[in-house]
A and B are shown apart, each in its own frame.
Chain A
Amino acid sequence: MTNRSRLTGFWYVLPALAFVILFTAWPFVQMVWISLNDWSLITPPTFVGFENYVDAFADSQFWISLRFTLKYTLLITPILMIGGYLISLLVTPNSGLSRLTRTVVFTPVVIGLGASSLLWYWLFSPNYGLINKFLTDLGLIDSPILWLGVDADLSNWAVIISITWKVLGFGMILFVAAIQAIPQEITEATMVDGAGFWQRVRKVILPLTRRTILLVTLVSVIGSLLAFDQFYIMTAGQPRNLTATSTFYVYLNSFPYLKLGYGAALSMILALIILGFTVVQMALTRRSNT
């Protein structure tokens, strides 16, 4: 190929490159710089080196937020993975009812997190919500449960229920595709061997869909570590900021509190944690491929 065609190709890529430089790479460089400054927007920035980072590690709310985010991630990930996988096993055969179930389970995935959180905020409302009403009608509770914003663990579970409803279909659809991609001869061979269903799942289906399982785990762990909308809307961080996730705490510092330097340092720490997970998961995904 000629030099001309090389250059032509470059011109086509240039707008996208410029966009990423301007709106992703450059802001990232700026964020590094901001994180090294004491800056409250009203006063001019003063260079303080790594002081913001040092402050973060001494900040109890930073740890509360980080621990809470990790706890949320550790609780919800297995639910999403196991739940999604079991449903995918159920709906893998292409019957009419299976297809319908796939469509229904996937529908909440396309709904906005904001809308779904408001929907569940209402369902979990102590006096106006239908969850307490239903539990009362079943005779399981006498007085309304205060689901959101009073007890951190209970709030966490309420959010987990809502998010499970919202994103279960994401893993399911990818798992169904992975299971259907298993060559039929393999599945049939194990059936001839007289292997029972769960034996087939354990010996054949799970190992052969390993890389999809890892990929979905990666996507959902990263998504959970960055959780914001659901807590902002359903708990507003209450009680006493105990349910303010890491992203929530970054937001609080950067915007309402206007501690730009400190917020940027927190962003950097969060971005590094995410990067760590990305790298670990990618290494795992790659090894399982060979």
Chain B
Amino acid sequence: MTKALSDPIQAGPLDLEFEPALREGASRRFWAGRNKYLLGAVCIVICLVLVTPIVLSVSASLKTTAEAAAVPPTYFPSELSLDNYDRLWNYGSGLPTYLRNSLVTAALTIVMTLALTVPAGYGLARFPVPGKEGMFIFLLLALIIPYQALLTPVFLMFSTLGLTNSLIGLAIVHTTIQLPFSLYIMRNAFEAVPRELEEAALVDGASSWQVLRRVFLPTMVPAVITVTLFAFVTSWNEFLGALVMLTRDTSLTLPLVLAAARSVTSLGSTDWGMLQAGVTVAIVPCVVVYLLLQRYYVSGLLTGAVK
């Protein structure tokens, strides 16, 4: 069981650096005998096709109200306007409320995930805890039982605890989703630290907690960034859990508000311009964070592709 679970994750290419530099010559030879201009053209076409939906959405969000509702639609705005963002800002309880809800939930998810997985990774990787392989498998339980299937009992538990319509409750659900992946990353990171560093500190009479703080945490920065990044993206984007747990308008997160705005608006029909403004607001933080921290994102994916 242990082997079955950890194998697909540990072995294979997943422990390797993402880009073990292929030498330039070899790199060119990979495609030996192929027309490099043709291959370049294919790359460019793929990029254009993949990037088009995002460009169209962002540009639709900048159309005037009338142009956004035009039939047939225009590809690009003939005149730039922030009207759609204006309506989005005042939609329902107001965009600031929803943004705040999404950000608070993401922040709580990050804090809880780190508070649970940093010590657990430390304990599992550096101490001779009896039965720790079994414990590790148990902690990965959420991989085997998808959270989608557990929403009914969790919802009932949260209603008795008063955690429905609460961002803490939703953050707990998001932490459940994120826990196996994060624990994996953390345990691997703790295991990678050489024993000598730890022993020197222990000889000096430091407690295990001091060793964690002074010796390990500085080397854990990349792992902490990876876990934070994935927890943020998961929480910011998660839909079904929020749909089940949140019903009061003032506690909704951004994805729920947008899904609601799809069908119901003050005009009785879909406000397409505002909808694309909302999609843009939802997309931008994820894309920016990804582009800035791409290295952590990719290495995290390679280490914990079990997600």
Q: Measuring CB to CB, which residues of chain A are less than 8 angstroms from any residue of chain B?
A: 1, 5-6, 8-13, 15-17, 19-20, 23-28, 30-31, 34, 87, 90-95, 97-98, 100-101, 103-108, 110-115, 118-123, 125, 127-130, 133, 136, 165, 168, 170, 173-174, 177-178, 180-181, 184, 187-188, 191, 196-197, 209, 211-212, 214-216, 218-219, 222, 226, 228-229, 232-233, 247, 250-251, 254-255, 260, 263-264, 267-268, 270-271, 274-275, 278, 282-283, 285-286, 289
Q: Which of B26-67 contact A (CB under 8 A)?
A: 26-34, 39-40, 42-44, 46-47, 50-51, 53-54, 56-57, 60
Tell me, yes or no, whether B184 is within 8 Å of chain A by CB: no
User: How many whole Å from B211's CB to the nearest CB in chain A?
Assistant: 10
Complex contact B72–A16 (CB within 8 A): no
Closest to A269 in B: B149
Q: Point out the residues of chain B lying under 8 angstroms from A254, CB to CB.
A: 151-152, 155
Complex contact B150–A110 (CB within 8 A): no
Given A27-B157, A174-B301, also A107-B13 (CB < 8 A)? no
Q: Point out the residues of chain A lying under 8 angstroms from B193, CB to CB.
A: none
Q: How far is the CA of A111 from the CA of B51 in the complex (A)?
A: 12
Of B81-89, B90-98, B118-126, which stretch is located at the interface? B118-126
Point out which of A91, A98, A128 has the most chain B C-beta atoms below 10 A from its C-beta.
A128
Complex contact B286–A111 (CB within 8 A): yes
Closest to B237 in A: A112
Q: How far is the CA of A96 from the CA of B155 in the complex (A)?
A: 49
Given A111-B286, A270-B149, A286-B7, also A25-B141 (CB < 8 A)? yes
**Can you list 17 A-B pairs, Cβ within 8 angstroms, ordered by A?**
A20-B179, A28-B150, A111-B282, A115-B279, A122-B57, A125-B270, A130-B73, A133-B75, A170-B301, A177-B14, A187-B26, A191-B32, A197-B31, A212-B13, A232-B240, A260-B152, A271-B145
Closest to B40 in A: A97
Closest to A174 in B: B305
Complex contact B239–A16 (CB within 8 A): no
User: How many whole Å from A84's CB to the nearest CB in chain B?
Assistant: 12
Q: Point out the residues of chain A lying under 8 angstroms from B54, CB to CB.
A: 107-108, 119
Interface class of chain A by DSSP: helix
The 5 tightest CB contacts between A and B, nearest first, are A9-B127, A112-B237, A12-B123, A114-B255, A16-B120
Complex contact A17–B149 (CB within 8 A): no
Complex contact A19–B116 (CB within 8 A): yes
Q: Of the candidates B46, B51, B148, which one forms a contact with A228 in the assembled complex, judged by CB atoms under 8 Å apart?
A: B148
Complex contact B75–A250 (CB within 8 A): no
Tell me, yes or no, whether B290 is within 8 Å of chain A by CB: yes
Complex contact A247–B127 (CB within 8 A): no
Point out which of A8, A114, A263, A286 has the most chain B C-beta atoms below 10 A from its C-beta.
A114
Complex contact A114–B276 (CB within 8 A): no
Q: Of the candidates B11, B34, B289, B291, which one forms a contact with A211 in the assembled complex, judged by CB atoms under 8 Å apart?
A: B11
Q: Point out the residues of chain B lying under 8 angstroms from A106, CB to CB.
A: 290, 298
Given A8-B127, A10-B123, A19-B179, also A229-B305 (CB < 8 A)? no
Q: Of the candidates B19, B69, B122, B124, which one forms a contact with A180 in the assembled complex, judged by CB atoms under 8 Å apart?
A: B19
Q: How far is the CA of A270 from the CA of B294 in the complex (A)?
A: 34
Q: Point out the residues of chain A lying under 8 angstroms from B148, CB to CB.
A: 226, 228, 247, 250, 267, 270
User: How many whole Å from A87's CB to the nearest CB in chain B?
Assistant: 7
User: How many whole Å from B72's CB to the nearest CB in chain A?
Assistant: 5
Tell me, yes or no, whether B166 is within 8 Å of chain A by CB: no
User: How many whole Å from B127's CB to the nearest CB in chain A?
Assistant: 2
Q: Point out the residues of chain A lying under 8 angstroms from B278, CB to CB.
A: 118
User: How many whole Å from B304's CB to the nearest CB in chain A?
Assistant: 11
Given A10-B123, A95-B27, A115-B237, also A289-B7 (CB < 8 A)? yes
Point out which of A10, A23, A113 has the most chain B C-beta atoms below 10 A from its C-beta.
A23
Q: Point out the residues of chain B lying under 8 angstroms from A107, CB to CB.
A: 50-51, 54, 287, 290-291
Q: How far is the CA of A170 from the CA of B297 in the complex (A)?
A: 11
Complex contact B156–A30 (CB within 8 A): yes
User: How many whole Å from A123's CB to the nearest CB in chain B?
Assistant: 6
Q: Of the candidates A17, A111, A113, A129, which one forms a contact with B287 in the assembled complex, judged by CB atoms under 8 Å apart?
A: A111
Q: How far is the CA of A197 from the CA of B3 in the complex (A)?
A: 35
Q: Point out the residues of chain B lying under 8 angstroms from A111, CB to CB.
A: 237, 282-283, 286-287
Q: Point out the residues of chain B lying under 8 angstroms from A289, CB to CB.
A: 7, 11
Q: How far is the CA of A28 from the CA of B143 in the complex (A)?
A: 13
Complex contact B72–A136 (CB within 8 A): yes
Q: Point out the residues of chain A lying under 8 angstroms from B21, CB to CB.
A: 94
Q: How far is the CA of A91 from the CA of B18 in the complex (A)?
A: 13
Q: Which of B233-286 contact A (CB under 8 A)?
A: 233, 236-240, 243-244, 255-256, 258-259, 262, 270, 272, 275-276, 278-279, 282-283, 286
Q: Of the candidates A12, A170, A174, A191, which one forms a contact with B119 in the assembled complex, judged by CB atoms under 8 Å apart?
A: A12
Q: How far is the CA of A36 from the CA of B149 in the complex (A)?
A: 15
